[in-house]
């Protein structure tokens, strides 16, 4: 049986931002479903989105996207070289709200040009069910 895997990037918080680097040992997370789009996973580093089903230690699987296609989606957002996980509201407004669950930190009211979306939540793998695979060596195709 062929396992579907997604690249595991590392732990990402929702209550603060962290530098977005992909250093260290590469690992893949085994997922149960196939998708026709690129996906990647991060480990949830805190409980800022726990009421949305993302608890610390779980793995959030994101599909690569540049902007949410529906209101109130959980996204991996980027501020320069730093990233965080937030719920995005007001996607068609001039000011967008980025928030976590409850009032742990104040929501951010930003213009859509003040940040970028890296991915949209596609699924969650609970920590106790996580299965890993050795990362495949990526071969670059020069197209020649």
Neighbours of 37 (CB within 10 A): 8
Residue 26: is its pLDDT beyond 80? no
pTM confidence score: 0.89
Q: Is the dihedral of CA 84, 87, 92, 95 positive or negative?
A: negative
Q: pLDDT > 90: what percent of the chain?
A: 80
Residue 2: is its pLDDT beyond 70? no
Q: If DSSP codes are grouped into helix, strand and coil, which group holds residue 81?
A: coil
Q: Which residue has the higher pLDDT, 132 or 1?
A: 132
> Where do the domains of the chain lie, and which CATH numbers do they carry?
4-134 (2.10.109.10)
């Amino acid at each position: 049986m062929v396992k579907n895997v997604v690249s595991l990037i590392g732990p990402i918080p929702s209550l603060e931002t962290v530098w977005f680097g992909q250093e260290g040992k590469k690992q893949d997370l085994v997922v149960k479903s196939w998708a026709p789009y690129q996906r990647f996973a991060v480990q949830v580093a805190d409980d800022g989105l726990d009421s949305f089903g993302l608890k610390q230690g779980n793995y959030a699987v994101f599909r690569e996207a540049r902007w949410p296609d529906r209101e109130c989606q959980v996204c991996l957002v980027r501020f320069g070289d730093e990233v965080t996980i937030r719920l995005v509201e007001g996607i068609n407004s001039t000011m967008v709200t980025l928030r976590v669950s409850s009032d742990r930190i104040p929501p951010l009211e930003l213009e859509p040009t003040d940040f970028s979306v890296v991915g949209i939540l596609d699924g969650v793998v609970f920590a106790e069910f996580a299965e890993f695979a050795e990362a495949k060596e990526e071969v670059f195709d020069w197209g020649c």
